[in-house]
Amino acid sequence: MSAVMPELLTSTHVEKMKKKKPPKRYWEETENTDQSQRRPEEEEGKAGQNQNESTVKERPLKRKNDERLEKKDPFPGEAPIPHKQLQKFQRGEKCKVPAGARRRLKEAITSSEAMSEHAQKQAARYDLLLPEDAGFLEGDEDEDTNTISQDDIADAVDITSGSKYFSLHLSQFGPYRLDYSRTGRHLLVGGKKGHVACIDWQTKDLMCEMNVMETVNDVKWLHTEAMFAVAQKRWLYIYDSKGVELHCVKKFNDVLRMQFLPYHFLLATASATGFLQYLDVSVGKEVAAICTKMGRLDVMAQNPHNAVIHLGHPNGTISLWSPNQKEPLVKMLCHRGAVRSLTVDKTGTYMVTSGLDRKLKVYDIRAFKPLHSCFLPAGASCLSLSQRGLLSAATGDIVQVYQNILGSSPVSKPYMAHRLRGQIWGLAYCPFEDVLGIGHGEGFTSMIVPGAGEPNFDALDTNPFRSYEQRQEWEVKALLEKVQPELIGLHPEQLSKVDQASFEQRHKEQVEALGFDPLAKVKFKPKTKKKGRSSAGAIEKRKRKVAHEDQRDEIRQSVQERTEREKELKEKSNEKKLGNKSTLDRFRK
């Protein structure tokens, strides 16, 4: 039986398979021919033994083929990222694993470090997708750029850019305030004598125009170009883009200036009565009303970095406010005269102020230290900083634009200047455009300022080219990501820090916030019982039973402790005594 088996086995398909030639590969043409040339001799004699040999031989051949297929990569690995870009996206400092750390700690730190490094690298890699750069005006030799007129610039640039220099002659309704929407597409102008209009200024499409028949103090777009707020003589009104009055907010009266905090959906208003009020436009609720006790508030700016509101006062001080505190976060003495205007840089690093003392001062608002100051002959009534850090100052009927003013050294002459026909009332740079909007007594002028706007926009945040549906989608997302007003403070990074206040302090704050002490003991209230057992005396007795319970507990505990201690001492002394005792000691007296 056993002799028959091998023969049979050879006939099974497994064996066949092994015998079978490996399938022909298209790249093996040459090799195979070699093999076939070599093979016949070997195969003729001993087929059975050949199997193993051939397989052994084939393997190295295959490997060779693979090597030949893989060309050597001249640039192995990922493309290196420039150090500068990496540094741009560095967040905080790396944390090293301390020596002798436990396993879990090690894992936690290493994984989080790896993750943040990965994120940083990816962000740096994608930074290459922001290729746009800003250009500036350059004069010929011994030619000041500030002598180049707007007409010249408009002639020199392309037609589309040239069309951005225009003016609206609106001499009837007095000096104009203005505001650009966050995407920079829409312009809102409000004349002192009640004329309000919103325009898609690039296409020059008029969205709405009306006269509110009242003094208009300020105008402001809300989160989208579908709504805007107008501070009128008495109350604050909210209109939609077609000019339909949506709300008349009577809680906000005598508003002089407004600021909109886009990520918090808060409209901050400063009134003539000295009130700083916050209106949550997403729910229509007044978040905070703070009496500043500083008199008329007609100078206002926001810090885009931390959503803190800056107010300028007639006594030369500037105060910083958040809706969470009834007193100013910071109060700075900046000018000897009243503060006329102020503005804060996009990154929240610099603040520029101008006062009645005709000085223009640049502050490092993080350290609250003045960097430099310069003297303007007529003083600046309006200030505005562009996204790229160009400062425009309005002196009377002239707008001056300064370059590099945020550096440490003061500037000696303006970068550009432009004369207008009336007193300037409002200044604002158009986001993502090289355009400065000027509201003045004779209407509105849009002026070209090369290098003012940020050339790269974040399409998910503020997309100048967004469609109606994109705007709707953005609105929903923005509402979902709305930052609560409680998070406004001088240091927004505080949220990522561990709160190291003591328990007592936290408890105190909790009590303040709640209005009662959640940990306080409830006062004993005796039940009312029937059948005459709730007489005054009985109640008093029952009260007596539980009176001073905690005090009693304390006493009981202390007594117990003391007895225990005594007991221990006694035992110890006993032991000591026992050490010397003899058996006969018991008979001692």
Partner 1 sequence: MAADEEELSINEQAISASEDEEGSDDERKHKKLLEAISSMGSRKRKKQNERSEASVQVSEFFVNAEGTGEKVNLSDLLGTVEKTSGASNKTKKQLRNLQSSKETLELPLNKQQTEKIQRGIAYEKTAAEVSCWRNIILQNQKAEQMVFPLNQESPGPKRVEQVVAGWKVQTPLEQEIFRLLHINSQPVDDPVLTPVEEQSLKAMSLEEAKIRRAELQKARALQSYYEAKAKREKKIKSKKYHKVQRKAKCKDFLKQFDEMVKTNPEGALEELKKMELSRMEERMSLKHQNSGKWAKSKAIMAKYDDSARKAMQEQLQMNKDLTQKIVVPSDDEHESNEEGLETIPDFVNDSEPVIDSVNPWMRGQLTHEEPEVSCVTTEDVQTAEEENEEEELVGEFERKRKLRQADEEDLIPTEEEQPASEVVEEDVVEVSDKEEEDDDDDDEEEEEEDVSEFNTLFRLMRSEKTLEEDEEGLLNEGQIRVRNIEDLEVLGEFVDPQPIAEPSLPRTAAVEATSEPPYKKKREIDLKEVLTKEAKAVKVPFLPTVVDEEERDEQISIIKEAFAGDDVISDFIKDKSKLEAAGRPEVVDLTLPGWGEWGGVGLKPSRWKRKRFRIKTAPPPPRQDQKLPDVIISENRNASVASHQVSQLPFPFQNTAQFESSIRTPIGPTWNTQSVVKNMTKPKVITKMGAIIEPMVKEDFIKNKTTTPGGKGPAIMLGENKRAKEGTKRSSEKHRGRRSQKRRK
Q: Which of residues 230-269 bind partner 1 (CB under 8 A)?
A: none
Q: Please, which residue, 136 or 166, has the CB nearer to partner 1?
A: 166
Of the residues 243, 410, 455, 526, which one makes contact with partner 1 according to CB under 8 A: 410
**Shortest spacing between CB 56 and partner 1, in angstroms:** 19
The whole-angstrom separation of Cα 269 and Cα 260 is: 9
Kindly identify the residues of this chain, within the stretch 356-385, that bind partner 1 according to CB under 8 A.
356-360, 368-370, 372-378
The site for partner 1, by CB under 8 A, has a size of 119
- Considering the complex, state which of residue 289 and residue 329 has its C-beta at the smaller distance from partner 1: 329
For helices 29-45 and 47-69, give the axis angle rounded to 10 degrees: 170
Residue 553 makes contact with partner 1 by CB under 8 A: no
Closest distance between partner 1 and the C-beta of residue 378, in Å?
Answer: 5
Contact region with partner 1 (CB under 8 A), list: 444-452, 486-494, 525-533, 577-585: 486-494
Q: Does 327 bind partner 1 (CB under 8 A)?
A: yes
State in angstroms the smallest separation of the CB of 508 from partner 1. 9
Q: Which of residues 491-520 bind partner 1 (CB under 8 A)?
A: 494-501, 505-506, 509, 512-513
SS (H, E, C) 227-284: EEEEEECCEEEEEECCCCEEEEEEEEECEEEEEEECCCCEEEEEECCCEEEEEECCCC
Question: In whole angstroms, how close is the CB of 574 to partner 1 at the nearest point?
Answer: 38
Q: At closest approach, how far in Å is the CB of 548 from partner 1? A: 25
- Least separation in angstroms between residue 62's CB and partner 1 is 11
Stretch that binds partner 1, among 182-190, 239-247, 429-437, 485-493 (CB under 8 A): 485-493
Judged by CB under 8 A, the stretch of 35-43, 213-221, 232-240, 337-345 that binds partner 1 is 337-345
Give the nearest distance from C-beta 120 to partner 1 in angstroms.
8
Count Cβ neighbours within 10 Å for each residue of 18-53 and write b for 16 or more, e otherwise: eeeeeeeeeebeeebeeeeeeeeeeeeeeeeebeee
- Using CB under 8 A, which residues numbered 139 to 178 contact partner 1? 143-144, 146-147, 149, 151-152, 155
Give whichever of 94 and 576 is closer to partner 1, judged by the CB atom: 94
Taking the complex as a whole, the smallest distance from the CB of residue 320 to partner 1 amounts, in Å, to 9
Residue 571: enclosing H or E segment and its boundaries?
helix 549-580
CB of 57 to partner 1, least distance (A): 19
Among the listed ranges 38-46, 211-219, 223-231, 350-358, the one in contact with partner 1 (CB under 8 A) is: 350-358
CA 311 to the chain's CA centroid: 22
Residue 532 falls in which region: left (phi positive, over 0), alpha (psi -120 to 50) or beta: left
CB 251 → partner 1: shortest distance, Å?
A: 22
Closest by CA to 249, choosing from 276, 215, 221, 286, is 286
Query: Hey, is 319 helix, strand or coil?
Result: strand
Radius of gyration of the chain (CA): 40
Q: Does 328 bind partner 1 (CB under 8 A)?
A: yes
DSSP letter string, 162-177: HTT-EEEE--TT-SEE
Instruction: Give whichever of 238 and 262 is closer to partner 1, judged by the CB atom.
Output: 262
Contacts of partner 1 in 301-320 (CB under 8 A) = 313-317
Q: Minimum Å distance from CB 487 to partner 1?
A: 6
CA pair distance 401, 204, nearest whole angstrom? 25
Q: Does 473 bind partner 1 (CB under 8 A)?
A: no
Please answer whether residues 516 and 523 qualify as being in contact, where contact means their C-beta atoms are separated by less than 8 angstroms.
Answer: no
Binding partner 1 (rule: CB under 8 A), the pick from 387, 400, 403, 445 is 400
Coil, helix or strand at residue 122: helix
Nearer to partner 1, 276 or 332 (CB): 332
Whole-number Å distance between alpha carbons of 437 and 348: 22
> CA-based diameter of the chain, in Å?
128
For partner 1, the closer CB: 54 or 534: 54
Cβ neighbours for 53, distance < 8 A, ≥ 6 positions apart: 42
Q: Is 480 in the site for partner 1 (CB under 8 A)?
A: no
Return the closest-CA partner of residue 120 out of 160, 91, 141.
Answer: 91
Interaction pattern, residues 411-450, with partner 1; x per rule: CB under 8 A: xxxx--x-x-xxx-----------------x---------
Of 481 and 550, CB closest to partner 1: 481
> From CA 158, how far away is CA 500, in angstroms rounded?
58
Which residue bears the tokens 């001249």? 74
- The token duo for 33 is 């021919």
Question: How does 503-539 read in b/e, with b if 16+ C-beta sit within 10 Å?
Answer: eeeeeeeeeeeeeeeeeeeeeeeeeeeeeeeeeeeeb
Write down the least CB distance from residue 497 to partner 1, Å.
6
- Joined tokens for residue 376: 């303007």
Task: Restricting to residues 51-110, name those near partner 1 by CB under 8 A.
Answer: 91-95, 98, 101-102, 104-105, 107-109
Distances from the Cα of 431 to the Cαs of 72, 95, 384, 407, in angstroms? 49, 38, 12, 22
CB atoms within 10 A of CB 547: 11
Decide whether 286 or 327 has the Cβ nearer to partner 1: 327
The reply on whether position 530 binds partner 1 by CB under 8 A is no
Among the residue ranges 229-237, 239-247, 489-497, 539-547, the one whose residues contact partner 1 (CB under 8 A): 489-497
Touching partner 1, residues 185-224 (CB under 8 A): none
Nearest to 390 by CA among 437, 448, 453, 445: 453
Binding partner 1 (rule: CB under 8 A), the pick from 395, 403, 445, 446 is 395
Cβ 272 to partner 1, closest distance in Å?
A: 11
User: Judged by CB, which is closer to partner 1: 229, or 371?
Assistant: 371
